[in-house]
Structure formats: C-alpha cells, structure tokens
Amino acid sequence: MIYNVYHLLQSVQQRSFKLKKELRVISSALYDDYLTRLTIKETQELVENIVEKSSTTIEEAHKAALNATFELLEKVSEDKETTQALQKLHNTIASGIYETLRITNKQFGNLTNELLNLKEKEKKDEI
C-alpha cells in the first residue's frame, strides 16, 4: 500500500514537473514576445488550461497524501469506522472545493470570452 502511494506521489511529482516546465516556457515566451503574437482569446485559453491542469495535479497530490495518512491512521486506530467516515467526509469536502475551483475557472473563461466578443462587436460597429 505504501509502495502504491509512493508511486502515485512520484507520478504526481512528474506531472508537477511538466507543469513547471510549461510555466517556464510561457514565462520565456513572454520575454521573447511570443504571447504578443497570440490573440487575447488564445492567451485566455492557455491560462485557463494551465489553471485546470494545475488544479488536477494539486488535487491528486492532496488526495494521495491524505489517503496515505488515513490508511496509517486506520491501522493504529481502535475506531476504524470513525476513521473511514472522516476520510469519506474529507474526500467529499475536498472534491467539492476542487470542483468549485474548476467551475470558477470555467466561468472566468466564459466571462472573458463574452467580453472579447463584445469588444470585437464594438470594433465592427465602429467601422
């Protein structure tokens, strides 16, 4: 079991390194004026995508760490049912928080799209 958690944490760490690499590429691109060649919409989609991937990676790491903790607690606890109930409650709350983060990210993306479309319409109306 601890072996599985270790491998899961390694997997999450590898994904985290990939995200860090993506962030370095984006940062470098800013300095190289790459993002200035992207449309505002493409930039917004890029940021939304990074937030989504980061949220998933953080959620997986969080779950792996806490599942390992609860498994150890269950082994030493005299009241295994309470420990399992607490783990279930924690997982439900944590899942809700991460889902709220994803929904908020999506809503900001939709709002940004609407604002961009409105701005484009205003430009067309001026012409």
What percentage of the chain's residues is helix, strand, coil (to nearest 5)? 95, 0, 5
Q: What is the DSSP letter of 38?
A: S
Residue range 97-106, pLDDT digits in tens: 999 999 999 9
Report which residue type is found at 102: R
Provide the pLDDT for residue 85: 92
**pLDDT beyond 60 at 35:** no
Q: Where are the beta strands (DSSP E) in 12-103?
A: none
- How much is the pTM? 0.62
Q: Do 109 and 48 form a contact (C-beta atoms < 8 A)?
A: yes
Provide the pLDDT for residue 103: 93
CA distances from 22 to 19, 50, 81, 104 (A): 5, 8, 43, 22
Q: Do 50 and 22 form a contact (C-beta atoms < 8 A)?
A: yes
